[in-house]
Amino acid sequence: MDDFMDNLIGILTMSGNYNSRVVKNTKRNTFTLDTVRVTDRELPYETAVAHKDFNDGDWIVLEWSETKEDAERTHDKWLAKLDAGVDSLLDVYTCERFEQEIDTDE
């Protein structure tokens, strides 16, 4: 119950204050990469991606960071990887691996 309450309090604390928590946000045609300060995890920074070719476009948590400087470097690292192209992504929160979804309608 304590973990549940801690997570709930963390989520509520973050609600409505995205602009004060964002470290970096990058938008491309196929994805949005977001690095923000979080209060519901052990490490205070989270980098996640919403990519049209993975997880039906829903968010995938890529990595956590301990400092803002590390979070900035993590964001840049993932931006380079995503720009180069990836075949799969691991969600470090759920431990689920997502393979690239091929759109056959084009």
For residue 106, being part of any structural domain is answered with: no
SS3 content of the chain, % helix, strand, coil (to 5): 35, 35, 30
Residue 105 lies in a domain: no
Q: Which residues fall within 8 angstroms of residue 78, CB to CB, at 6 or more apart?
A: 33, 47, 49, 62, 63
Query: What share of the chain in percent tops pLDDT 90?
Result: 71
Residue 80 lies in a domain: yes
Is residue 104 in a domain? no
Flag whether 78 is in a domain.
yes
Please tell me the distance from the alpha carbon of residue 2 to that of residue 13, in angstroms, as a whole number.
Answer: 16
Indicate whether 9 pLDDT > 50: no
Report the DSSP beta bridge partners of residue 97: 90
Residue 61 is assigned to a structural domain of this protein: yes
Average pLDDT over residues 14-29: 83
Q: How many domains does the chain have?
A: 1
Domain assignment of residue 15, given as a range: 2-99
